[in-house]
Chains A and B, each alone.
Chain A
Amino acid sequence: MKSLRPLAAVALIVFLYLLPIVHIPLLDSEDFDFPSLLFYPIGIFVLLAIGLYVTIGLAGLLNLGHVAFFAVGAYTMGLCNTLLGWPYFAVLPLAVAVSMVFGVLIAAPTLRLRGDYLAIATLGFGQVIQIFLTNAPGLGGVRGISGIAPPTSIGPLVFGVLDPVPFVWLVLTLILIAYFIVRRLESTHIGRGWNAIRADEDVAELMGVPTYRLKILAFAIGAGIAGAAGATYATKASFISPETFDLSLIILLIAALTIGGTRSLTGAIVGTLLVAYLPERFREFGDLRMLLFAAVLVLMVIFRPQGLFGRRLPREAESGSEVVENVKGEAHGTA
């Protein structure tokens, strides 16, 4: 079994890269251009969700300001490109770095708060950034920044306005890099430290986990990934405005994580795929689809609160040996 896993991973990656160029009957629809959809919302949302998974899923920090880091990345790209003429691939590392700096700046004071208080503080930060982008001079106000250039071509790969496929490959590559980074950290003492912080921060600290530093690291990594998503979104859309970074986006992302299971990276990704794709696919149902979406969410919370891929939630396991057996079975299922 073990020896098949790398093979399966390679097959999956090849399949993902082929996805925008092969026509798959059921996935496609006349209502939309499937490759475009794969870039936004699907690809960008998945990238954002991976970042959010680090703070919420791993370190257990309810970070509602995630979209602000997305905005910081996008505006870094927008400004550097339109004002300085820097190409995407030069700005990308900068956008990641700037977002990480913002992550640390926000985390340093707010991480002394816990739970609900942290959620409110980060939510406030998200709002402040949006209002700042609307009102600060030089950022274009509500009209935002337009005319952001696509990336320069890499050999035969031309990032044009008409063909979304290279952009899909670009965001897919970033997703794979982010996935690798998060998986890697998860499997070492950093990941164990995050798990411990989520479970019981006081005990984690007493067992030698540098809780404050690890929480900042979680914020910085989450913010950096969101920054990459922002820069990539900006270069494709060529136009960004404060409206793009609305509060509804964070709610959607958290819904996605809840559906997939906040405590599993696979779950976070699958949940986001569903949340990003299904409403588009069922566009023919009009507003009814949002109602269905809400119903699914409520049912999930009632019947499978740990999400599709999550470990069973702690509270439930206490009653009855049957449930306990379940937990044992699932304990390693997420790996």
Chain B
Amino acid sequence: MAPPDVSPVLLRIERIGVQFGGIVALDGVDLDIREREIVGVIGPNGAGKTTLFNVVTGVAKPSSGNISLLGHAITGLRQHVITARGIARTFQNIRLFEDMTVRENVMLGADCGRRDGSPGALLGLSHTRRNEAEARARTSEMLAFTGLTRHAGTLARNLSYGDQRRLELARALATRPKLLLIDEPAAGFNPTEKQELAELIRSVRAFGCGVLLIEHDINIVTGICDRIAVLNFGRKIADGTPCEITADPAVIKAYLGTPDAA
């Protein structure tokens, strides 16, 4: 199941530090994600998980350290460039384009990295027509993959909560990511929905992309992740297979506290 360690490193996070004023959100975090690997990030609230996502996607600027995708540095690049290079994300608090239809939302993702500009659009040049057709095909594919095809014409705001989460996933996948960052996808789901979601995330690998997953539900994380990294107070305190992590004393301490502190 787990890809062998010999598969090339997809994303390399090296000694990343992020500070907001005097607060250290991340402190020298190292993390490697290999191609097609599903890596979970867990940790108590405020541990720096979402900051890690923000720094990888270029939203937050690191005060130290480097991030590279397939060997190319991406630190400091503009966000849309990072997305075009192959890193897409979903949001913890759903952030869809609510007044666009489901199809339009996914189309927007599929437009990612297009190089044809306004002249092509204006004159209906062949490469623009080809790109539009490709974006439409990609969109249909993603809608089918996430089971949203029958809602294609619905406004995103009118979708059920679960379908909105799926749409976030479809939109991010439409950008043809090499690495997909998924931020707490199962929040507010019942056990059946969680199971379906876990299956969906596992099958994302079929598109050849790796996954970095933030999730509080430990069953989902241990169930689908090849590897888990644990953050606490901005530091990585453990990194290993689900079995190793659940047995790690440092992790247990971070989550449950030390006996004498309780």
Contact = CB atoms under 8 A, between A and B. Distances in A.
B187 to A, nearest CB: 18
A88 to B, nearest CB: 24
Contact of B122 (A181, A193, A204): A181
Contacts of A205: 78-80
Given A181-B122, A209-B111, A188 B132 contact: yes
B99 A314 contact: yes
A314 B100 CA distance: 11
Interface of B: 57, 59, 78-80, 83-84, 88-89, 91, 95, 97-101, 104, 107-109, 111-114, 116-118, 121-122, 124, 128, 131-132, 135, 153-155, 157-158, 171-172, 175
Given A193-B108, A207-B88, 8 more contacts: A185-B121, A189-B131, A189-B132, A192-B104, A195-B100, A208-B84, A209-B111, A328-B155
A193 B111 contact: yes
Contact of A189 (B78, B84, B135): B135
A317 B97 contact: no
21 contacts: A189-B111, A189-B114, A189-B135, A193-B111, A195-B108, A196-B100, A199-B97, A199-B98, A200-B95, A207-B112, A207-B172, A208-B83, A208-B88, A208-B109, A208-B113, A209-B108, A210-B80, A211-B80, A317-B155, A324-B158, A328-B158
A184 interface: yes
B122 A207 contact: no
A49 to B, nearest CB: 20
Interface residues of A, number: 33
Contacts of B172: 207
B122 A185 contact: yes
A154 B5 CA distance: 75
A206 interface: yes
A203 interface: yes
Nearest to B104: A192
Given A185-B118, A190-B118, A200-B95, A207 B100 contact: no
Interface string A206-235: 111111000001000100000000000000
A311 interface: yes
A311 B104 CA distance: 15
Closest 10 CB pairs of A and B: A208-B112, A208-B83, A189-B111, A188-B121, A199-B97, A205-B79, A203-B95, A208-B80, A210-B80, A190-B121
Contacts of A324: 158
A298 interface: no
A210 B79 CA distance: 9
A195 B122 contact: no
Given A185-B121, A208-B113, A328 B79 contact: no
Given A193-B108, A207-B175, A314 B83 contact: no
A53 to B, nearest CB: 16
A189 B172 CA distance: 16
Nearest to A205: B79
Contacts of B107: 189, 192
Contacts of A207: 80, 83, 88, 108-109, 112, 171-172, 175
A131 interface: no
A328 B99 CA distance: 10
Specify which of A188, A318, A327 lies most central, judged by the most chain B CB atoms within 10 Å of its CB.
Answer: A188
A195 B104 CA distance: 10
B128 A188 contact: yes
Contacts of B88: 207-208
A288 interface: no
A288 B113 CA distance: 55
B180 to A, nearest CB: 13
Interface in A298-328: 311, 314, 317-318, 324, 327-328
A314 B156 CA distance: 11
Nearest to B135: A189
Contacts of A217: 117-118
B132 A196 contact: no
A13 interface: no
Contact of B157 (A181, A203, A209, A314): A314
Contacts of B80: 205-211
A113 interface: no
A323 B88 CA distance: 34
Given A207-B112, A209-B108, A189 B121 contact: yes
B70 to A, nearest CB: 18
A206 B100 contact: no
Interface string A135-159: 0000000000000000000000000
A205 B89 CA distance: 12
A199 B156 CA distance: 12
